[in-house]
Structure 1
């Protein structure tokens, strides 16, 4: 597995690298006179972009609000300089407002989407976007309105595919079902947080993705840096320094918990046995989870990107992966506890053995790997 081995995204023919380049760090706001100083200098962002694409990576993830538009503008500049627009799968998002005081400058509405897509196309310097997504559910706009507008943008040639990021599972199911029932362009992706320390999507979103043809693109696979190797546990104590120990609360954004202490302890032990960095082990675990299509990896330094890409080389033994599973497992809340295999074996299938798939079952074609854009290799 490497950046130039491509997989289809959701139930579509779109081929993407399994590690997407996250560009939230592209563009230092202070340099552009924007409040705040978070983000990388332009030359560092350019080096990261060049290295990722030179290695065969083709999946670029951004949003209209990253750096107040600076991220999209820089990506447009980098694509022009390298002349590689057609080789890339360019994904961007709308929802966050760039105009305080205007109630229709943000949210998921048709009005907001139509304005935002034109602004993104201008900043990116392109006449189409490969994957256009709702950034965050606004709790207001009907799913029907979002799906209808995405379909209109596909038909107009301004976008190629639509997707959702950070929405409730029921909303995603409603949107996809509406698209299918009305012969509108189906959604192909869900962008969600997922990591050893954040496994809540497994109850609803993973089965949703598997059954409705949605590829999950994962953000924060290192849990805000908790699993990056900057933090360790020493007995009952936390050790290490980084932005999680210097945030306003001084409590690591709520991440320094007893559960995460146990996860980090197990991750340290597994990484030591494999003689690999903790971040690579944590990324490898996520890469091999069901329905995960691609990981979104952000980097503020070129060395960080290079280290993360090396996670592709890691082949984790099943017993070590199982130790990480056990350390990070979440209890099943109701009613999900009623769906556990052990419970159903004793209550629903008493005295019988029932499997969920026949032995001859094979994954559908849309879940298959594509090597170098050639069928039949994997």
Structure 2
């Protein structure tokens, strides 16, 4: 396994992070345990979850909320040095109940959410506590006060964000600096060959502030995982996936042909393309089975030539570079 610093922090995390959104939903507990055991055996130390994982992520209380954390907690409770071998990351923001304060990022909510996550995870501290989304109604003075208190109490070690815009990252970091607080060390963003908007302003902000990028959905929801070949092999797709395939069919045909031409699997090429970005700390992969986890490790050994990178840019063009040069002189 390869490791990198989590942003500008001294903490080292595996270049592949285990995403656990499927635990308790698409993946049962026994299989989840197998995946976590295999991840640790492979040297993966960054485990990413969220309080809301385990059921449908939509407003209102849904059955299954907190189940992913509970499964991880029961896995950790087996002992054997499991807790000491992983960097445990979870999130706060999404609705976890019907009450007006069961969501978002008030100091009231952050404190209660952290305690609830610690209980479900059966641990005394969260290594990386991430804001799942920006809360435009909560002032940064309030948010950082709550996070600082958790850090002082030893319940949280580092703080991260997810789905922030570039200007929100800058605002958060400037507010943290004014309090002599470290602020954010990581940002989870939607980033893959089919979704490159973050190249405009988010990635430049991350580089400037020393915040590590943790891309989620690196395979575009499966679109970059060899979807055309799987269809030819008789694999059935959801209506949503079939619609996406038809929308991107010319690009997918060119992409899968390119991958075949260089002798690599489409999923490995998609992950390797992300891993070459120096702002990136780790790619979050969300396997549903141990076999899917094992397959993803191959990407660490894939090297993409300059010609291949140019062709990928032609097939999946980005926004034209970084802002403002991408759209202004």
**TM-score w.r.t. structure 1 length?**
0.79
What are the superposed Cα offsets for residues 48-80 of structure 1, whole Å, 9 maximum, x if unpaired? Answer: 110010111100000001111111111112122
The answer on whether the counterparts of 2:188 and 2:214 sit within 8 Å (CA) in structure 1 is: yes
Whole-angstrom distance in 2 between the partners of 1:277 and 1:128: 38
The alignment covers a number of residue pairs equal to 318
Does residue 130 in structure 1 map to residue 124 in structure 2?
no
Match 1:300 to one of 254, 264, 288: 288
Alignment of 1:51-70 (within 5 A): 51-67=38-54, 68-70=65-67
Does residue 246 in structure 1 map to residue 239 in structure 2?
yes
Q: Secondary structure at the match of 2:133?
A: coil
Match 1:153 to one of 147, 150, 153: 150
The answer on whether the counterparts of 1:267 and 1:281 sit within 8 Å (CA) in structure 2 is: no
Correspondence for 1:192: 189
Does residue 321 in structure 1 map to residue 309 in structure 2?
yes
What are the superposed Cα offsets for residues 182-212 of structure 1, whole Å, 9 maximum, x if unpaired? Answer: 2023210000010000000000011000000
The answer on whether the counterparts of 2:18 and 2:48 sit within 8 Å (CA) in structure 1 is: yes
The answer on whether the counterparts of 1:22 and 1:62 sit within 8 Å (CA) in structure 2 is: yes
Does residue 91 in structure 1 map to residue 83 in structure 2?
no
The answer on whether the counterparts of 2:148 and 2:181 sit within 8 Å (CA) in structure 1 is: yes
The answer on whether the counterparts of 2:107 and 2:142 sit within 8 Å (CA) in structure 1 is: yes
Match 1:26 to one of 19, 23, 28: 23
The answer on whether the counterparts of 2:165 and 2:201 sit within 8 Å (CA) in structure 1 is: no
Alignment of 1:227-238 (within 5 A): 227-231=224-228
Cα 1:233/1:76, change in 2 over 3 Å:
closer
Shift of 1:289: 2.1
- Root-mean-square deviation (CA, aligned residues, Å) is 2.4
The answer on whether the counterparts of 2:40 and 2:85 sit within 8 Å (CA) in structure 1 is: no
Q: Secondary structure at the match of 1:293?
A: coil
Cα 1:242/1:66, change in 2 over 3 Å:
farther
Whole-angstrom distance in 1 between the partners of 2:203 and 2:27: 33
The answer on whether the counterparts of 2:7 and 2:186 sit within 8 Å (CA) in structure 1 is: yes
Alignment of 1:69-84 (within 5 A): 69-81=66-78, 82-84=80-82
Does residue 288 in structure 1 map to residue 276 in structure 2?
yes
Correspondence for 1:339: 325
Correspondence for 1:375: none
The answer on whether the counterparts of 1:24 and 1:298 sit within 8 Å (CA) in structure 2 is: yes
Does residue 166 in structure 1 map to residue 163 in structure 2?
yes
Shift of 1:231: 3.1
Whole-angstrom distance in 2 between the partners of 1:180 and 1:231: 48
What are the superposed Cα offsets for residues 14-36 of structure 1, whole Å, 9 maximum, x if unpaired? Answer: 11001100001111xxxxxxxxx
Q: Secondary structure at the match of 1:16?
A: strand
The answer on whether the counterparts of 1:63 and 1:71 sit within 8 Å (CA) in structure 2 is: yes
| Structure 2 segments unaligned to the other structure (5+ residues) | 55-64
Cα 1:242/1:199, change in 2 over 3 Å:
farther
Whole-angstrom distance in 1 between the partners of 2:77 and 2:140: 35
Whole-angstrom distance in 2 between the partners of 1:189 and 1:144: 19
Does residue 49 in structure 1 map to residue 41 in structure 2?
no
Match 1:177 to one of 153, 174, 178: 174
Shift of 1:103: 0.9
Whole-angstrom distance in 2 between the partners of 1:193 and 1:77: 29
Shift of 1:83: 2.7
Shift of 1:42: 1.0
Q: Secondary structure at the match of 1:270?
A: helix
Cα 1:213/1:154, change in 2 over 3 Å:
same
**TM-score w.r.t. structure 2 length?**
0.90
